[in-house]
Amino acid sequence: MLKHKHLIAGAWVAGEATFDNAPVSGAADQFAVATADHVDAAVRAAEQAFLSYGNSSRQDRAAFLRAIADELEARGEAITEIGMRETGLPQVRLDGERGRAAGQFRLFADHIEVGDYLDRRYDGALPDREPLPRPDLRLMQRPVGPVAVFGASNFPLAFSAAGGDTAAALAAGCPVVVRGHYAHPGISDIVAQSVAAAIKTCGIHPGTFSLLQGGDNSIGHALVSHPLIRAVGFTGSLAGGRALYDICAARPEPIPFFGELGSVNPMFLLPAALASRGASIAAGWAGSLTMGAGQFCTNPGIAVLAKGSDADAFSVAAADALSKIEAQVMLTDSTASAFRSGCEKLQSATGVSEVFGKSCEKRNVTPHLVTTSGENWLANELLSEEVFGPLGMIVVASDTDEMITIANTLKGQLTCTLHMDDADTEMARTLLPILERKAGRILANGFPTGVEVCDSMVHGGPYPASTNFGATSVGTMSIRRFLRPIAYQNIPPEILPADLI
């Protein structure tokens, strides 16, 4: 079933070297290692494909997107089977994520058929206008060209080879070259087979989608440096995203880099809500914090509250709820060891004490809970950094004014959450405009780990949550990243793009 090769312009291509995946159990599979020549071949094919694919009709692209969704579903069992081995994620999660990945393609198919995303504008000619006539002006969004896509380890389907970035770029009319993630090459392999099958069925140029596996960071560097790549969609760590962003900015011709990075997603527990239902918020938090072994970019890592007996009770309830959670398998050995060292670093930081924690080993992890004062959190930047995994921190402010100071000090976040009752409305009204400047999504009385794929979703935020605060990587608005507006002045109708007539 697995091809073990790169997919480049419709051909399955091996290389001289191979690498092993690292399954949770069972024998490893070997996959081809990409070289700079593979990068060049894939990007050149994407540029060739753009000539036809970039000018294809919305109806043809919608049919292609739906065919990809069908092909992903047809391979559902195989994807889940290799996915469970490679990632340790349970069947229900992988089945659900595959449904989301297929759903994204169908959502984009509907979206481009409607056509609002083209943002068509028309200022008709005014030949008699004084002192100067006005020309005929029409505006429309057009695809940017070949797009490089990097997925993250923790969403092997929804943010990977055929995840949201790929769906958005293909919907826009942009060919895609995917840098396959080393943590799940088998999943990427089957997913690429799905896209290749849809390309064949729909008669699309084979250069429209390529997948490159393995190799070190130099492959990603070569991909974003390639002069024919016009934009990059990236989901992953702050360190990786920043390295690639800097390369994009330093190119002779800089290109946009849409990086969706890490976040600690603070929750603010306002006094009345904390007093009336602190224990149930604590239980909900423990569930959100440990879902998928805490490997979510929207994991609510920090709870901010004001000191007092309600804060003490919240801490006890959160520790109690976390103590009932069994050890979970992380995505890779290195993710688990990075989590352990992140916990150790925090626990040994000045003014931080452990509330709950158990030791764990190898790829297994158990939740950890630490606490610190608001004053200490404000004084130590390390405490605001993401530790990827099931780690929670309770930040105990001296009073509600200090909670507001903490909100003002936050770095950019994917989400911020308010837990509030009616009696908290005034404080919430003060916090909302502050949090608007910090996050892409603000929630009340919920937990941010589920991200709805729809028209109104924003999954992004000010740096370091993402590298472009004006963009989202989830939902239909994410298509905008791979489009650019073009004004057509006095262009005869015979040569205007069909969508503009």
> Which of the residues are catalytic?
260, 297
**Triad 182, 187, 188: Cα angle to 5°:** 65
> For residues 42-71, which are near ligand NAP according to CB under 6 A?
none
CB of 284 or CB of 475, closer to ligand NAP: 475
When binding is defined by CB under 6 A, the residue of 243, 275, 283, 327 that contacts ligand NAP is: 243
Number of H helices, E strands in the chain: 14, 21
Shortest distance (Å) from residue 487 CB to ligand NAP? 33
Question: If 0-12 CB within 10 Å is exposed, 13-18 middle and 19+ buried, where does residue 198 land?
Answer: buried
Task: Find the binding residues for ligand NAP in span 123-162 (CB under 6 A).
Answer: 150, 152-155, 159
Q: Are 52 and 208 in contact (CB under 8 A)?
A: no
Instruction: Give the Å distances, CA to CA, from 88 to 82, 93, 153, 156, 469.
Output: 10, 10, 11, 11, 33
Q: Of 44, 21, 78, 81, which Cα lies nearest the Cα of 214?
A: 21
To ligand NAP, the closest distance from the beta carbon of 335 in angstroms equals 6
3-state secondary structure 11-76: EEECCCCEEECCCCCCCCCEEECCCHHHHHHHHHHHHHHHHHHCCCCHHHHHHHHHHHHHHHHHCH
> At its nearest, how many Å lie between ligand NAP and the CB of residue 289?
14
Find the helix or strand (DSSP H, E) in which 197 lies.
helix 185-202
Q: At what angle do helices 58-74 and 164-172 cross, to 10 degrees?
A: 150
Hey, is 370 helix, strand or coil?
strand
3-class SS of residue 431: helix
Contact range with ligand NAP by CB under 6 A, out of 60-68, 198-206, 260-268, 284-292 = 260-268
Q: Which is nearer to ligand NAP, 232 or 311 (CB)?
A: 232
Binding mask 375-414 for ligand NAP (x = CB under 6 A): -----------x-x-------------------------x
User: Please, which residue, 260 or 402, has the CB nearer to ligand NAP?
Assistant: 260
Minimum distance, C-beta of residue 75 to ligand NAP, in the bound complex (Å) = 22
Angstrom distance (rounded) from CA 62 to CA 113: 7
Residue with the CB atom nearest ligand NAP in the bound state: 240
**Of 72, 162, 192, 261, the one binding ligand NAP by CB under 6 A:** 261
Rounded to 10 deg, the angle between the 217-225 and 238-250 helix axes is: 40
Q: Which is nearer to ligand NAP, 62 or 458 (CB)?
A: 458
In the list 187, 297, 387, 457, the residue contacting ligand NAP (rule: CB under 6 A) is 297
In whole angstroms, how close is the CB of 247 to ligand NAP at the nearest point? 8
Stretch of residues binding ligand NAP (CB under 6 A), selected from 122-130, 237-245, 369-377, 418-426: 237-245
**Residues 182-221 interacting with ligand NAP (rule: CB under 6 A):** 182, 217, 220-221
Kind plus residue range of the DSSP H or E element containing 406: helix 400-409
Q: How far is the CB of 154 from ligand NAP (least distance, A)?
A: 5
> How far apart, in whole angstroms, are the C-alpha atoms of residue 371 and residue 384?
13
Answer positive or negative: Cα dihedral of 210, 215, 220, 225: negative
Chain residues 314-343 in contact with ligand NAP, contact rule CB under 6 A = none
What is the per-residue DSSP string for 139-160?
A: EEEEE-S-EEEE--TT-TTTTS
The CA-CA-CA angle for residues 47, 53, 54, to 5°, reads 80
Taking CB under 6 A as the rule, which mask of x and - marks residues 443-462 in contact with ligand NAP? Answer: ----------------x---
Give the C-alpha separation, 489 to 492, whole Å: 9
Exactly one of 156, 163, 262, 389 binds ligand NAP (CB under 6 A); that residue is 262
Write the CA distances from 485 to 114, 244, 480, 481, integer angstroms.
Answer: 18, 25, 10, 11
Strands 137-143 and 121-123: antiparallel
Q: Which stretch binds ligand NAP (CB under 6 A): 5-13, 254-262, 423-431, 436-444?
A: 254-262
> Which residue among 173, 236, 271, 475 contacts ligand NAP (CB under 6 A)?
236
In this structure, are residues 20 and 28 in contact, taking their beta carbons and an 8 Å threshold?
yes
Say how many residues touch ligand NAP, by CB under 6 A: 27
In this complex, which beta carbon is closest to ligand NAP, that of residue 315 or of residue 473? 473
104 is a contact residue toward ligand NAP (CB under 6 A)? no
Cβ at position 243, least distance to ligand NAP in Å: 4
Nearer to ligand NAP, 12 or 19 (CB): 19
Q: Which residues bind ligand NAP (CB under 6 A)?
A: 150, 152-155, 159, 179, 181-182, 217, 220-221, 235-237, 240, 243-244, 260-262, 297, 386, 388, 414, 459, 473
